[in-house]
Amino acid sequence: MKRKNSMVVVGMLGVAMSLAACGDDSDSGSGSSGESTSSEAAGKVGVILPDTESSVRWESADRPALEAAFEEAGVEYAIDNAEGDAERMTQIADSMIGDGVTVLAIVNLDSKSGAAIQEKAASQGVATIDYDRLTLGGSAEYYVSFDNTVVGELQGQGLADCLGEKDANIVYLNGSPTDNNATLFAEGAHSVLDGIDSYTIVGEQAVPEWDNEEAVTIFQQLYTGADGKVDGVLAANDGLGGAVISVLEGNGQAGEVPVTGQDATVEGLQNVLAGTQCMTVYKSAKLEADALAKTAIALARGEEAETTGMTMDSESGREVPSILLEPEAITQENVQVVIDDEGQSAADVCAGEFAKFCEEAGVS
C-alpha cells in the first residue's frame, strides 16, 4: 500500500469492516492489503485543512479531533494542511484522489479554488464535503459546520453585554473576505449591534486571509482614524482579537475596551480570564470532527447522512444538505465549560502568569 508521509492509515475495525470488506482485521496500520476495488474501497477519507496561521484551531484542535474520530470509527484517513496556499490544496487533493480516497473533505481557502477541487473530485467519482466553510458555487454533497450566523450573533450580544447601553464607538475587524463564514459572522454580529441605537460604527474592515499580523496594522489604522475614540471591538476570532488587544495595550487601553473573539483558543481564554477580551465563542472540535466522520462514513456507504437542515449557497442558489452545530459563548463566568469539555486543558490555560486569573475565576 502506497503511503505519503503525511498520511495516517489505520486498520479496519468495527464499523469499517463492513465498509472495506477487506477481511483484514489487523489494527497494525497497514489497512487492507493490496488495492481493493470499487465499493470495497469505500472507507478512505481525505481531509485538507486550510492553514496554520489564520487560527491555531486547525492543527491544535481539529487535526487531533479528526484523527480520534476516524480512528474510533475504524476508517482509513489522510489529513493534510494546505498551508494557506490554494495551489497546494489542489495538489494535495489530486494526490489524495490518486491514492484512492473515496470521500474528500476540504476547508476551502477561497470558494473558487474549492469549487474547482470539488468539480475535479466529482469527475473522478469522489464525493466531497465542505468542512467548516461552505464553498460557494461548489458541489459538495454535504456541509458540516457550526451555525456561523449564530456565532456572529453571540459575538454581537457578547460585546453588547460587555458595553452596556452607553454611547459607544464600535470597530469591526472581520475575517477574510474569501471565507463565507466571515460574511456570516459579520452579518450575525450586525443583526444584534445595529439594533442598538447608542452604538456608532467608527470603522469596519476585513482582514485578508485572517492574517493576524496584518490585523495589527489594519486595526492600528482604524484606531487612529477614529482618533483613538474606540469603545468596543468586534473581532471575528481570537487571533484577530489578540491583534486588537496588542494595539490597545500599546495605547494603555487593554482591558478598558471590550474585544470579542472566537475559537476558545488558549490565548483567547487567557485574555478572557485576564479581562482584556470580553468573550470568545467555543465550537467543540470533537463535535465537528465526529459529525464529519459520521457524514463521510454514510457517504462512503452510499447511505444518506443525518442532517440538521439545508444551507443555501448564496452564489448558486443550491440547497446544500447540512449538519450545523450549536456554538457557545464563553465569558469569564464559564471558561470552565471549555475545560470540562476538554476543549482546552486547565494546565495550558492556567499556565504561568495566568494561574492567578484561573484561581480568581475558579477555573481548574
Q: Which residues bind ligand BGC (CB under 6 A)?
A: 54-55, 57, 132-133, 175, 179, 181, 210, 237, 262-263
CB 179, min distance to ligand BGC, A: 5
CB 107, min distance to ligand BGC, A: 7
Q: What H or E segment, with its residue span, contains residue 248? A: helix 238-250
CB 284, min distance to ligand BGC, A: 12
When the beta carbons of 231 and 263 are compared against ligand BGC, the nearer one is 263
Q: Which amino acid is at 122?
A: A
Other C-beta atoms lying within 10 Å of the C-beta of residue 265? 26
At 8 the three-state DSSP class reads strand
When the beta carbons of 132 and 328 are compared against ligand BGC, the nearer one is 132
CB 26, min distance to ligand BGC, A: 37
Q: How far apart are CA 355 and CA 28, in angstroms?
A: 41
How far from 260 is each of 201, 230, 239, 244, CA to CA, in Å?
A: 15, 14, 10, 10
When the beta carbons of 44 and 133 are compared against ligand BGC, the nearer one is 133
When the beta carbons of 134 and 349 are compared against ligand BGC, the nearer one is 134
Q: How far apart are CA 188 and CA 202, in angstroms?
A: 18
When the beta carbons of 76 and 132 are compared against ligand BGC, the nearer one is 132
When the beta carbons of 74 and 114 are compared against ligand BGC, the nearer one is 114
- With contact defined as beta carbons under 8 Å apart, do 339 and 345 qualify? yes
- With contact defined as beta carbons under 8 Å apart, do 48 and 96 qualify? yes
CB 155, min distance to ligand BGC, A: 12
Query: Which residues have a Cβ under 8 Å from the Cβ of 219 and sit 6 or more positions away?
Result: 171, 173, 233, 243, 244, 247
What does the angle CA 188 – CA 157 – CA 276 come to, to the nearest 5 degrees? Answer: 115
Q: How far apart are CA 332 and CA 55, in angstroms?
A: 21
CB 197, min distance to ligand BGC, A: 30
